[in-house]
């Protein structure tokens, strides 16, 4: 039976985890899975988790939290044989949705019994790992304010986005890939991703494939406020390519000059990536636990 380490974030998604931890342990006893628990504290979690994985030597490390918790586990198991499982308990749960992992607790837990393992691509961003979405511009600002605020949950994120939207000034970027400049100018946001959609289900990269050896750069140029609803509609109907304000470019390596030097975000966590940001795909570098293919 697979040896499992559960990594539980006690604060993610504003959800109390005590009862849930009981359920996890009962489930493992019922299925005779050897299992241990690692609770995050928000302080030196990566260092402590790596130590725990080395000592316990699990086959599966299961993230029980939001995108930040999933990212923490991914950093600890990337380029190893240890597989990442996800029980979504966050505000957005972006990667788990993109991977087709059930959002319901009991269904996600059942994946530990019957699943397939798939190796997916990740991104190296100035030496940091991105498993889902890295962006610069408007969303990064909202993520930054969300992470520094006191309130969690999807409502808090949407509230901050509404507050910031009206006054947001687009920033200047230069994007180079495959030996040429592919974009130079102002943008509302630049999203670099291997996946399809944000945790809100807004599909910024509707044709993204998570293990094809390429990632996409999605440019949302400045747009009149009157066009916002139209852009939102396109994001939620997989038709963002039809907008005159967007471009997508597929590549395996790129450099972005973020002229304003404003904060970026990687997988839901604010990051100061400086002015020059280098992206490289890490092909099939992360093993993930997924639902069995449909028959």
Ligand X SMILES: Nc1ncnc2c1ncn2[C@@H]1O[C@H](COP(=O)(O)OP(=O)(O)OP(=O)(O)O)[C@@H](O)[C@H]1O
Which residue among 58, 137, 208, 268 contacts ligand X (CB under 6 A)? 268
- Smallest gap from Cβ 136 to ligand X, in A, equals 18
Query: What is each CA distance from 208 to 72, 81, 283, in whole angstroms?
Result: 23, 25, 14
Q: Which of 10, 170, 206, 230 binds ligand X (CB under 6 A)?
A: 10
* Closer residue to ligand X (CB): 92 or 246: 92
- Residue with the shortest CB distance to ligand X: 66
Determine which residue in the list 12, 191, 193, 205 makes contact with ligand X, applying CB under 6 A. 12
What distance lies between CA 61 and its chain's CA centroid? Answer: 17
Pairing relationship of beta strands 83-88 and 60-65 according to DSSP bridges: parallel
Please tell me the distance from the alpha carbon of residue 187 to that of residue 248, in angstroms, as a whole number: 13
Rounded Cα distance between 276 and 270, Å, is 16
How many chain residues interact with ligand X (CB under 6 A)?
22
Which residues share a beta bridge with 279? Answer: 125, 254
Is 13 a binding residue for ligand X by CB under 6 A? The answer is yes
> For the window 172-201, what string marks contact with ligand X as x by the rule CB under 6 A?
---------------------------x--
The single residue among 75, 115, 132, 152 that binds ligand X, judged by CB under 6 A, is 152
Residue 208 in contact with ligand X, rule: CB under 6 A: no
Contact of 104 with 258, CB cutoff 8 Å: no
Distance CA 203, CA 266 (A): 17
Alpha carbon 196 to chain centroid, angstroms = 11
Which residues within the stretch 63-92 sit at the binding site for ligand X (CB under 6 A)? 65-69, 90-92
Sign of the C-alpha dihedral, residues 201, 64, 152, 187? negative
Is residue 137 a contact residue for ligand X (CB under 6 A)? no
In the complex, least distance from residue 14 CB atom to ligand X, rounded to whole angstroms: 7
Closest CA to 86 of 55, 120, 110: 110
The correct pick among 32, 42, 81, 166 for binding ligand X (CB under 6 A) is 42
Could you give the count of Cα atoms lying within 13 Å of 167 in the half-sphere of its Cβ?
A: 5
Residue number, 91 or 193, with CB nearest to ligand X: 91
Q: Which is nearer to ligand X, 143 or 254 (CB)?
A: 143
Q: Closer to ligand X at the Cβ: 206 or 270? A: 270
Least distance (Å) between residue 99 CB and ligand X? 13
Order the strands of the 269-271 sheet from edge to edge: 246-251, 215-220, 189-193, 133-137, 264-266, 269-271
Binding site for ligand X (CB under 6 A): 9-13, 40-42, 65-69, 90-93, 147, 152, 199, 268-269
């Amino acid at each position: 039976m697979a040896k499992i380490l559960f990594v539980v974030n006690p604060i993610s998604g504003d959800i109390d985890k005590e009862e849930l931890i009981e359920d996890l342990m009962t489930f493992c006893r019922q299925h005779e899975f050897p299992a241990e628990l690692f609770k995050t504290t928000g302080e030196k979690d990566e260092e402590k988790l790596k130590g725990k994985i080395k000592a316990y030597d699990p086959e599966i490390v299961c993230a029980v939290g939001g995108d930040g918790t999933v990212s923490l586990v991914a950093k600890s198991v990337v380029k190893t044989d240890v597989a990442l499982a996800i029980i979504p308990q966050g505000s957005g749960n972006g990667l788990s949705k993109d991977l087709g992992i059930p959002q319901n607790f009991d269904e996600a837990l059942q994946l530990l019994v019957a699943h397939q393992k798939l190796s997916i691509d990740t991104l190296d961003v100035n030496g940091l790992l991105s498993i889902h979405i890295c962006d610069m511009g408007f969303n990064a600002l909202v993520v930054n304010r969300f992470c520094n605020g006191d309130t969690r949950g999807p409502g808090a994120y949407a509230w901050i986005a509404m507050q910031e939207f009206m006054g947001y000034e687009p920033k200047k970027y230069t994007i180079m890939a495959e030996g040429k400049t592919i974009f130079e100018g102002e943008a509302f946001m630049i999203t670099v991703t291997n996946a399809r959609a944000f945790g809100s289900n807004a599909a910024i990269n509707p044709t993204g494939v998570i293990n094809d050896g390429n990632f996409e750069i999605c440019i949302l140029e400045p747009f009149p406020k009157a066009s916002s609803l139209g852009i939102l509609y396109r994001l939620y109907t997989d038709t963002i390519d039809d907008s005159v304000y967007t471009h997508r470019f597929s590549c395996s390596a790129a450099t972005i000059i973020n002229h304003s030097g404003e904060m970026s975000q990687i997988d839901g966590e604010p990051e100061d990536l400086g002015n020059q940001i280098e992206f490289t795909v890490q092909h099939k570098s992360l093993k993930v636990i997924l639902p069995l293919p449909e028959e």
